[in-house]
A and B are shown apart, each in its own frame.
Chain A
Amino acid sequence: MDYSNFLSMSHEISLVVVMALVLLVDLFIGDKNKKICQIAAMGLFLAHTVLCFTYLSDASAVDEAFGGMYVNSEMAVLLKNILNVGTCLVFMFAYNWNTTENEEHSSEFYFLILSTLLGMYLMMSAGNFLMFYIGLETASIPMAALVAFNKNKKESAEAAAKYVLTAAFSSGVMLFGTSMIYASCGTLYFNDVYAMFHGSALQIMAMIFFMAGVGFKLSLVPFHLWTADTYQGAPTAVTSFLSVISKGAAAFAFMCIMCKVFSGSGEATESWKNIMWWIIIFTITVGNIFAVRQTNMKRFMAFSSISQAGYIMLGVIAGTKMGMDALTYYILIYMVTNLAAFGIISSIEDHTGKLNREDYNGFYETNPKLALVMMLAMFSLGGIPPFAGFFSKFFIFMAASNQGEYLLVFLALLNTVISLYYYLLVVKAMFINKSENPIANFQSDNMTRAGLVICTICMICIGLISSIYGYIQMQQCGF
């Protein structure tokens, strides 16, 4: 190995530099002026995001580092860039909260989010189960601190406790699975395991434990029980990060491992696809049915995101390059859409403290523009054309039916009708229901508005511009 191998880790290295600088700035200026710290953190991360796009064109970068521990693919680089953009948007929506309520600890907020992101980078580029585990933990532990960020609120602490306990438990389950893999294969490198994975009983057991562990992170049913409480208790900025960025990274890594490692023999592939089939059905259905009953918007979004994770898993069950393209595309669109919804929710929360769906009654009368963006987001989540969500759903369904999973796709499609019902409930509250005392007209801050404009443009345009999908399709992912 020579030093040029480090070039393939440019994302990680540049993120570490940004993190260090954020800490240093806070150390020297933090006491005098918090605002400069914030602007510095956001500016640095923005620079990192922009720079990372240029790495993509660097064709000479090698794919492996540290003897195969770290493996990079074009698709992983692309997804890292997408997640960078998502994190930028999260920062924009959190700016208002960071300048008011959370001013004192804003630098910690940035630092913790960035360390989670670093963990996700590593998770996506892992070439070894240990590396994957390290990445996952680096992503989870700061997340627990973030969930507990509202120090004065009991809900926040409760949410964090739930998160820590389930995260620790799922890590344990996953490690146990990993140890069984080591026992049966004698190695933890993905490529070697792939060659030795024949679907013996022990190996299938190991795989199930592994799937359970990742299932917790992705909040797939039946491992979803922590989701609603954690989403509700965490600060809204953290919730949005958790529901989008965290989920996207885990889904990508999950798909890579299922297809690159556990598909050694036809029998093995068959067995995880069978399990996956039921997990998808339950995830989508349970997520949808519970979302119908929620009145708190954050809980509502939690269940909506559970069912969305089910749809993302359709790409995994396809297990093809086409499935991977559709999954990445889905994550991109889900990210902008969900962030737009959270942007609205958090700005309403910041200005009025209201979080219930009934509070949104008559919202269109007082704040027409925000209501329109929220409606757009709901339509896009529900998969209504011509908004982006339609295209991502269509393509991911197409990828699954390409593998003959017609029944699964059909059940998922019927579920979209349920999901449309509760998305329309939000639209109904804002547009149709009358209210005695609606949310008063308020002016959201510039950062939020800019973020919403970006999300809106993305929701309208991504689907219509076919070259975005074409670009994703050109990226290699190693299978």
Chain B
Amino acid sequence: MNILSLFVIIPLIMMAVIFCISGENKKLIRSVMTVGGACLVATSAYLTIQFLQMRAGGESDAFLFTDSVMWYEAFNIHYSVGVDGISVAMLLLSSVIVLTGAIISYAIETKAKEYYLWFLMLSVGVYGFFISVDLFTMFLFYEVALIPMYLLIGLWGSGKKEYSAMKLTLMLMGGSAFLMIGIFGIYYNSVPEGGQLTFNLQEIAANVAMQENHDWEMIFFPLTFIGFGVLGAMFPFHTWSPDGHASAPTAVSMLHAGVLMKLGGYGCFRVAMYLMPHAALELGWIFIILTGISVVYGAFSACVQTDLKYINAYSSVSHCGLVLFALLMMNQTAMTGAILQMVSHGLMTALFFALIGIIYGMTHTRDIREMSGLMKIMPVLCVCYVIAGLASLGLPGLSGFVAEMTIFVGAFQHADTFHRVFVIFGCTSIVITAVYILRVVGKVLFGPLQTGHVAENDKGLRDAVLYEKIAIFTLIACIAAIGLAPLWLSNMIREGIEPIANLFIK
């Protein structure tokens, strides 16, 4: 069996096992989740090593580990899988976040069984999306990943959870309406007149390169890009994201900001830009403006929020905007930086949400005006928060620096005024990021002690316990590892980017 299919099969097996366990037996359910999550991490690590070895051995196909099974013969739909450097990086990221998310979710007490089932369905969708090279299966997994969010937020969330859950689901489904029409357009133009239509990404890309007529791309590129852009929190379609993140339970915020939003960036890149390069060159400027606004607007919004989760949600809007912004620069360096930013942002935002979730569990408030001086009570959590903050504002030695550096160096390679102006515009976000990160650090972590609404019957404030430490330290280790030794990862991504970046050389 193909190793990639394991990424879908393992969560499905976990779902089946948990389905059979009684809901009372929370310990067993948690251990199944942890063991399964660890298996996924091991599989993705093994896959990475294998992948790097094969590349070192001179394998030059764009996608490795490919496999294809005919599904719907009438439409030439296959279940086909394959990975390049970019998807391997995404799979690694997803596995780490799913594992740490599962560990952080130990705190869930009510309906733990159902919670984990939906959680796993979400991860099935995420993994399936990253391994697919067939548009139909890709879209199918994409939607599988969206719907569990509704119940996860609606049932286990906090605050105005019902409103947020509905808003998130409907906006994302609206995005997938754009996407679906884009997919039909791509499918019916996937071959020159009379050939066998196909959903296979590679075949479409090869056919499109040979086509003379590119008018159809001008219609379907914007639709597809917006479709994925909604999930990538592109301005002005980002409004679901702050509400959704703020209301979701901790692990779901982690998974959502850490992985699910990456589906948007990955899709923009893999479907919209890869399959319709001519339109991307022609119409890219529109989206450069929109994503440029996302980057700066998100950062400014984060400055004025008072809810910890809203601050991070807006910071996610800014950082994910940067991903799309860099992709649209359409050269190899900037695009490599975009993928690195996806990985880096995924890890650090997951870390942020994990920490905020733990703190919120004790203080019962996320309002930064009601908390201060937490460093005195929970030093470990607070130091980790500082590390996450520094990664986010791009301190050298942590992953954020590597990503942002690559992006801006690459983006500035464009010699024309339009691109340069927007790169400088985008660069300002680095400074604004420092403002809102340091504001939170200074206000919440230092100063006189003030602890929100600690209930009387509560266990009170404490530092991180063992399972929380495991999850947090795993994430920090990954952030530091990428920051200190980024070359293997960026080389792997660069190889994946190369054939696609070459499409854009005029």
Contacts and interface: CB of A to CB of B under 8 A. Distances in A.
B177 A384 contact: no
A469 B75 CA distance: 10
B480 interface: no
A198 interface: no
Contacts of B165: 432
B73 A466 contact: yes
Contact of B72 (A379, A427, A432, A466): A466
Interface stretch (A141-149, A175-183, A398-406): A398-406
B177 A416 contact: yes
B141 to A, nearest CB: 8
A409 B74 contact: no
B188 A379 contact: no
Interface string B57-79: 00000000000000111110100
Contact of B140 (A325, A390, A420, A424): A390
A406 B181 contact: yes
B188 A416 contact: no
A320 interface: no
Contacts of A409: 181, 184
Nearest to B143: A385
Contact of B177 (A385, A386, A413, A427): A413
B127 to A, nearest CB: 14
A384 to B, nearest CB: 5
Interface string B185-218: 1011000000000000000000000000000000
A417 B177 contact: yes
A416 B173 contact: yes
Contacts of A466: 71-73, 77
Interface in A461-479: 466, 469-470, 473
A328 to B, nearest CB: 13
Contacts of B184: 397-398, 401, 406, 409
Given A386-B140, A390-B143, A398 B181 contact: no
Contacts of A395: 75
A390 B166 CA distance: 20
Nearest to A463: B140
Given A386-B144, A390-B143, A469 B181 contact: no
B74 A421 contact: no
B162 interface: yes
B170 interface: yes
Given A398-B75, A402-B188, A431-B154, A424 B181 contact: no
B72 A417 contact: no
Given A385-B140, A420-B169, A470-B74, A413 B147 contact: no
A414 interface: yes
B332 to A, nearest CB: 34
A284 B185 CA distance: 22
A416 B75 CA distance: 23
A421 B219 CA distance: 28
A384 B72 contact: no
A401 B143 contact: no
B143 A397 contact: no
A468 B188 CA distance: 23
A428 interface: yes
A384 B147 contact: yes
Contacts of B72: 466, 469-470
25 contacts: A384-B143, A385-B143, A385-B144, A386-B140, A386-B144, A390-B140, A394-B136, A398-B184, A401-B181, A401-B185, A401-B188, A406-B181, A406-B184, A410-B181, A413-B178, A416-B173, A416-B177, A417-B173, A427-B150, A431-B155, A432-B151, A432-B165, A466-B72, A466-B77, A470-B73
Given A417-B177, A432-B155, A466-B73, 20 more contacts: A325-B74, A385-B144, A386-B144, A390-B140, A394-B180, A398-B75, A406-B184, A417-B173, A417-B174, A420-B170, A421-B166, A421-B170, A424-B166, A431-B151, A432-B162, A432-B165, A466-B77, A469-B72, A470-B72, A470-B74
